[in-house]
């Protein structure tokens, strides 16, 4: 208990140390400067009665945007929880960043402690905290969802390891929940992770005494994970075809082909706050970290040597080669996955990216650096575990922690701070309608008027003066609109039409929008350059409702998620009752 406490205190100290910039007022500059706006719009839509949140009303140049139909919602749900506790939007975002640091370190500690013991777990957790890519993710890119993905990776591997060791049903359910949480945190990290995870699962399966039973439980876990998260991934997958995402994320400056990393950049590169560019012109560093690389190679060497030459080398005094080989096999697998992850960031892996089309949505091959940080941190703990004497473990581990944290702490600070920034400024309607909307519009409706910019990029043909002042307007005819009420997903009003009129709702006609006049669904026309909703009003008094509803895909996906969650809930209750009775 005492050793656990000391280790957790060390983890807390390092976590708070790298989080100090988050305690300042305002918000630092970042590449993805939309986090506060997304949380604000999530809050607004949720309080407007939309669940699960899919449509937000101020993005898309004021015409609305299906943001959370495609963008994983979990980190904003966590941010919303902080906001409901009384924190502002900016502070809530910073709390989510801090949570990603602390919780991921604790998660790594839990996993490595299970494999290698307490002190190696402390070393792994601190390596995980202080990885250069984490500093890049938080203080340069501002990648809120990706930074929180760090939390789930060790917990997923831990849950499958516990399932392997105990064969308990509770770990089938827990592994499913954790896998689903990764999906709804960051689907573009989930995607490469499910290419990596099977190698770990295969080793567990190989070592299992009940291979058929274990395999069945893995399949059940995967099915439950898919069922829990289907409310998100099914609409995101099947309704993507209605958007311009493929015209933006797979071409020109966003194409993965120009964002490969050179091997020398993985070893060391000048730290910067710029962007990713073709060749060696990157303004940011993609270094893995020298100590992360060296300790990984050392752990790999010790594991590999033991497995293939154990008898001759078991007499060495520096390392201990126990009778069991499983931990060494795990280290070899983690080492190979570390090497594979680094390889996937480079041009040499291009043929894999070309063959596996879904990977291309990652845009940046260097996103695999999250996995190099993950596996190298595990291997740092493995290296300490292989040292024979306890005092030697403590000495080497302490030296490594000092050598790692002292120079790396300087990476955990932003380029600039906007101390003047308040919630009101960060969520102003003009900022959202134009500045934020014009920087990210990949989920606009297909068919919206586009043009090719100077750099060859596709740009939506909307100017600042096109931003609507009202959600509803009369295009032609003589109609007076009154009693106009709005939420992010619904508009209602009364219309007194002296003549037949054409009404335009300043909303992109994304699937799900329905118009009712006097409780009867009417046909929507979007034959205009921005694919906006238009409909006819006949002469007389009319009551109009324009509402964003679920498509068949969304309704079915929501139902399947509810059923899966209910099954898991009752399975946990049943398991708890059995334990209680025993």
Asked if 445 and 508 touch (Cβ cutoff 8 Å), the reply is yes
How far does CA 581 lie from the centroid of its chain? Answer: 40
How are beta strands 520-522 and 490-497 bridged, if at all? unpaired
Q: Where are the domains of the chain?
A: 2-30+72-418
Write down the pLDDT at residue 329.
85
Write down the pLDDT at residue 320.
46
d(CA 404, CA 114) in angstroms, rounded, equals: 23
- Token pair belonging to 296: 């990984």
CA dihedral 382, 271, 102, 423 (to 10 degrees): -160
Write down the pLDDT at residue 246.
84
Q: Burial of 359 by CB count in 10 Å (0-12 exposed, 13-18 middle, 19+ buried)?
A: buried
3-state helix, strand, coil in the chain (%, to 5): 60, 10, 25
- Token pair belonging to 189: 């990290």
Give pLDDT tens digits for 450-465: 888 877 778 889 998 8
How are beta strands 501-508 and 532-537 bridged, if at all? antiparallel
**545 φ, ψ (degrees, to nearest 5):** -130, 125
Q: Burial of 118 by CB count in 10 Å (0-12 exposed, 13-18 middle, 19+ buried)?
A: middle
Asked if 444 and 243 touch (Cβ cutoff 8 Å), the reply is yes
d(CA 444, CA 509) in angstroms, rounded, equals: 10
Q: Where are the beta strands (DSSP E) in 40-143?
A: none
Write down the pLDDT at residue 2.
62
Q: What is the 3-state secondary structure (H, E, C) of 300-369?
A: HHHHHHHHHHHHHHCCCCCECCCCCCHHHHHHHHHHHHHHHHHHCCEHHHHHHHHHCHHHHHHCCHHHHH
Q: Which 3 state secondary structure label does DSSP give 551?
A: coil
CA distances from 524 to 433, 471, 512 (A): 24, 16, 11
Query: Position of tokens 């480079």?
Result: 346
Specify the pTM.
Answer: 0.93
Write down the pLDDT at residue 454.
77
Q: What is the pLDDT along the chain (582 residues), one digit of tens a residue?
A: 566 688 889 999 999 999 999 999 999 999 988 999 999 999 999 999 999 999 999 999 999 999 999 999 999 999 999 999 999 999 999 999 999 999 999 999 999 999 998 999 999 999 999 999 999 999 999 999 999 999 999 999 999 999 999 989 899 999 999 999 999 999 999 999 999 999 999 999 998 889 999 999 999 999 999 999 999 999 999 999 999 988 887 766 678 888 899 999 999 888 888 888 877 877 888 999 999 999 999 999 988 877 776 555 555 444 444 445 678 889 999 999 999 999 999 999 999 999 998 898 888 999 999 999 999 999 999 999 988 788 888 999 999 999 999 999 999 999 999 999 999 999 999 999 999 998 888 899 999 998 888 777 788 899 988 899 999 999 998 998 999 999 999 999 999 988 899 999 999 999 999 999 999 999 999 999 999 999 999 898 999 999 999 999 999 999 999 999 999 998 888 878 877 777
Of the candidates 469, 516, 404, the one whose C-alpha atom is nearest the C-alpha of residue 131 is 404
CA distances from 1 to 106, 112, 113, 190, 222 (A): 15, 17, 13, 35, 35
Give pLDDT tens digits for 549-558: 999 999 999 9
Write down the pLDDT at residue 403.
96
- Token pair belonging to 213: 């039973």
How are beta strands 520-522 and 513-517 bridged, if at all? antiparallel
- Token pair belonging to 576: 């708890």
How are beta strands 458-460 and 450-452 bridged, if at all? antiparallel
- Phi/psi region, residue 29 (left: phi>0; alpha: psi -120 to 50; beta: rest), is beta
């Amino acid at each position: 208990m005492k050793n656990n406490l000391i280790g957790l205190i060390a983890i807390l100290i390092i976590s708070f140390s790298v989080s100090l910039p988050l305690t300042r007022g305002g918000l630092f500059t970042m590449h993805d400067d939309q986090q506060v706006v997304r949380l604000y719009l999530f809050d607004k839509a949720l309080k407007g009665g939309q669940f699960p949140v899919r449509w937000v009303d101020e993005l898309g140049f004021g015409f609305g945007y299906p943001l959370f139909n495609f963008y994983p919602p979990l980190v904003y749900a966590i941010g919303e929880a902080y906001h409901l506790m009384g924190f502002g939007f900016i502070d809530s975002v910073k709390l989510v960043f801090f949570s990603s640091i602390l919780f991921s370190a604790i998660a790594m500690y839990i996993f490595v402690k299970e494999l290698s013991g307490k002190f190696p777990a402390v070393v792994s957790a601190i390596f995980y905290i202080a990885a250069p890519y984490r500093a890049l993710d938080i203080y340069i890119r501002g990648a809120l969802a990706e930074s929180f993905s760090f939390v789930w990776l060790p917990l997923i591997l831990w849950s499958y390891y516990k399932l392997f060791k105990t064969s308990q049903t509770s770990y089938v359910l827990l592994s499913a929940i954790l896998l689903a949480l990764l999906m709804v945190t960051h689907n573009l990290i989930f995607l490469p992770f499910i290419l990596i995870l099977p190698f770990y699962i295969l080793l567990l399966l190989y070592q299992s005494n009940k291979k058929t039973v274990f395999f069945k439980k893995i399949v059940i876990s995967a099915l439950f994970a898919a069922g829990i998260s289907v409310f998100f991934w099914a609409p995101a997958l099947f309704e993507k075809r209605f958007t311009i995402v493929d015209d933006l994320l797979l071409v020109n400056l966003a194409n993965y082909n120009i964002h490969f990393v050179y091997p020398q950049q993985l070893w060391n590169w000048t730290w910067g706050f710029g962007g990713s560019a073709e060749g060696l012109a990157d303004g940011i560093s993609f270094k893995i970290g020298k100590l992360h690389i060296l300790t990984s190679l050392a752990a790999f060497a010790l594991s590999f040597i033991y497995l293939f030459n154990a008898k001759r080398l078991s007499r060495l005094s520096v390392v201990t080669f126990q009778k069991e080989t499983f931990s060494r096999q795990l280290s070899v697998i983690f080492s190979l996955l570390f090497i594979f992850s680094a390889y996937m960031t480079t041009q040499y892996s291009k043929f894999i990216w070309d063959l596996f089309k879904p990977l291309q949505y990652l845009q940046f091959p260097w996103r695999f650096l999250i996995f190099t940080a993950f596996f190298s941190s595990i291997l740092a703990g493995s290296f300490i575990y292989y040292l024979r004497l306890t005092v030697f473990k403590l000495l080497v581990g302490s030296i490594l922690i000092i050598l790692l944290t002292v120079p790396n702490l300087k990476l955990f600070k932003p380029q600039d701070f906007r101390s003047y920034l308040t919630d009101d400024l960060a969520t102003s309607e003009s900022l959202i309608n134009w500045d934020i909307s014009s920087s990210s519009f990949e989920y606009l409706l297909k068919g919206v008027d586009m043009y090719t910019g100077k750099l060859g990029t596709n740009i939506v043909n909307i100017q600042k003066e096109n931003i609507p002042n009202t959600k509803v307007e009369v295009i032609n005819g003589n109609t007076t609109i009154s009693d106009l009420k709005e939420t992010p997903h619904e508009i209602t009003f009364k219309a007194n039409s002296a003549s037949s009129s054409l009404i335009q709702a300043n909303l992109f006609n994304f699937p799900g929008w329905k118009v009712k006049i006097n409780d009867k669904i009417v046909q929507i026309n979007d034959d205009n350059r921005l694919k906006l909703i238009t409909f006819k009003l006949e002469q007389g008094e009319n009551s109009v409702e324009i509402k964003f509803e679920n498509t068949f895909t969304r309704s079915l996906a929501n139902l399947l998620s509810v059923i899966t969650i209910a099954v898991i809930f009752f399975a946990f209750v049943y398991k708890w009752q059995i334990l209680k009775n025993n």
